[in-house]
């Protein structure tokens, strides 16, 4: 068998053996500073990534490294508390392993959360921005022999971010009185932040949010038919001029993202009840 698939199967089987028959349909991936959302999960089974065969460990700032099973507002879910990034040096197959493991475990819906910089001048630090589309400037995670059992060689990406989930999010936000903006996420490898010239360029081609994650997970999820909802927490407004800033190491991003946790928690609790 394809050794990539053997690795996914080994990880999924190990996790299944620890779950006592739980079978959620929804999974979350929590990025920089958003790990505390996992504090709201009840009846937790916590499996550190280091215990899962074939799983890497998260090395990024603010990424804990736990696979969690539990309930969120009464509904069964999985959560990855901490994700893997291409800039950490992992191949794309490793960056996205969690998504294919979710698929093997029966997940139908994936909620991806990240910290992002704002290229859109209308956005402010602390905004919650629903991702409506993306521009991928990282290597595509589906390069290589196609894993036929997961999906087709040339997956459609016209509605990568599920339209019904977007509508549900806006309905829920309206009921809760939460301000949710919409934007296109532009993903590059990092680990450098963008130069002002790059920010101006990316903005001019339609970027609202700049980040270094998420898109590989979304591509792999869409390849295998998982429906995706994405949301960014705006942690900084990107600089468009060459003026020195004293902001922008990973710790600042984590600190700012933590301020958005409450809003995301409220929205997610409401959405999960209506899926
Ligand atoms: N650029 C890229 N990634 C980021 C940023 C940014 O400004 N802020 C948080 N993640």
pLDDT tens, position by position, 134-146 = 999 999 999 999 9
Atom 6 (ligand 1) nearest CA: 117
Q: How far is ligand 1, taken at its centre, from the CA of residue 115, in Å?
A: 7
For residue 60, is pLDDT > 90?
no
**Mean pLDDT, residues 82-109:** 97
Report the number of distinct structural domains present in the chain: 1
What distance in angstroms lies between residue 207's CA and the mean position of ligand 1's atoms?
Answer: 12
Domain interval for residue 42: 3-273
Using DSSP's 3-state secondary structure scheme, residue 34 falls into: coil
The secondary structure of 177-220 as a DSSP string is T--EEEEEEEE---SSPPPHHHHHHHHHTT-SEEESSSHHHHHH
CATH number of the domain encompassing residue 91? 3.40.50.1580
**What pLDDT does residue 247 have?**
59
Identify which of 63, 54, 100 has the alpha carbon closest to the alpha carbon of residue 85.
63
Which residues are paired to 75 by β-bridges?
A: 72
pLDDT band at 45 (very low <50, low <70, confident <90, very high): very high
Over residues 78-84, mean pLDDT: 95
How large is the C-alpha radius of gyration of the chain? 18
Q: Minimum mean pLDDT among 4-18, 77-91, 144-158, 232-246: which range?
A: 232-246
The pLDDT score that the predictor gives to residue 258 is 75
pLDDT category of residue 273 using cuts at 50, 70 and 90: very high
For residue 5, how far is its CA from the centre of ligand 1 (angstroms)? Answer: 32
Mean pLDDT, the chain, integer: 94
Residues 207-226 have pLDDT tens digits of 999 999 999 999 999 999 99
From 63, 192, 212, give the residue whose CB has the most ligand 1 atoms within 8 Å, as the site to mutate.
Answer: 212
Mean pLDDT across the stretch 3-12? Answer: 96
Q: Give the residue-averaged pLDDT of 130-136.
A: 98
- Mean pLDDT over 56-72 rounds to 84
Q: By alpha-carbon position, which residue is closest to atom 10 of ligand 1?
A: 116
Quote the crossing angle between the two packed helices 97-104 and 215-223, to the nearest 10°: 30
Percent of the chain with pLDDT over 70: 97
Q: Which of residues 76 and 58 earns the better pLDDT score?
A: 76
- For a ligand 1 pocket test, name from 129, 131, 137, 193 the mutation site with the most ligand atoms within 8 angstroms of its C-beta: 193
Pocket lining for ligand 1, CB < 6 angstroms: 115-117, 193-194, 210-212, 235-236, 238, 253
**Res. 250: pLDDT tops 90:** no
The string of pLDDT tens digits covering residues 187-202 is 999 999 999 999 999 9
CA 235, CA 126: separation in Å to the nearest integer? 6
End-to-end CA distance of the chain: 36
């Amino acid at each position: 068998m394809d050794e990539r698939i053997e690795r996914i199967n080994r990880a999924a089987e190990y996790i299944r053996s620890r779950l006592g028959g739980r079978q959620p349909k929804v999974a979350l991936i929590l990025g920089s500073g958003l790990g505390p959302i996992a504090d709201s999960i009840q009846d937790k089974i916590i499996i550190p990534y280091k215990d899962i065969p074939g799983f890497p460990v998260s090395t990024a700032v603010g990424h804990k490294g736990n696979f969690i099973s539990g309930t969120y507002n009464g509904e069964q879910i999985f959560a990855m508390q901490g994700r893997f990034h291409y800039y950490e040096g992992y191949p794309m197959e490793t960056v996205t392993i969690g998504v294919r493991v979710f698929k093997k475990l029966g997940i139908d819906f994936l909620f991806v959360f990240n910290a992002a910089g704002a290229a859109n001048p209308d956005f402010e630090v602390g905004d919650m921005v629903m991702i409506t589309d993306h521009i991928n400037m990282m290597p595509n995670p589906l390069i290589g022999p196609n894993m036929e059992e997961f999906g087709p060689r040339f997956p459609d990406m016209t509605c990568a971010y599920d339209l019904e989930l977007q509508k549900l999010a806006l309905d829920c936000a309206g009921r809760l009185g939460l301000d949710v903006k919409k934007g296109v996420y532009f993903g590059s490898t990092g680990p450098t932040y963008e130069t002002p010239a790059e920010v101006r360029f990316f903005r001019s081609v339609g970027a609202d949010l700049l980040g270094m994650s998420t898109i590989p997970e979304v591509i792999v999820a869409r390849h295998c038919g998982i429906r995706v909802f994405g949301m960014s927490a705006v942690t900084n407004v990107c600089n468009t001029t060459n003026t020195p800033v004293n902001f922008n190491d990973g710790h600042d991003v984590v600190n700012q993202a933590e301020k958005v946790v409450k809003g995301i928690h409220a929205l997610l609790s409401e959405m999960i009840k209506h899926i």
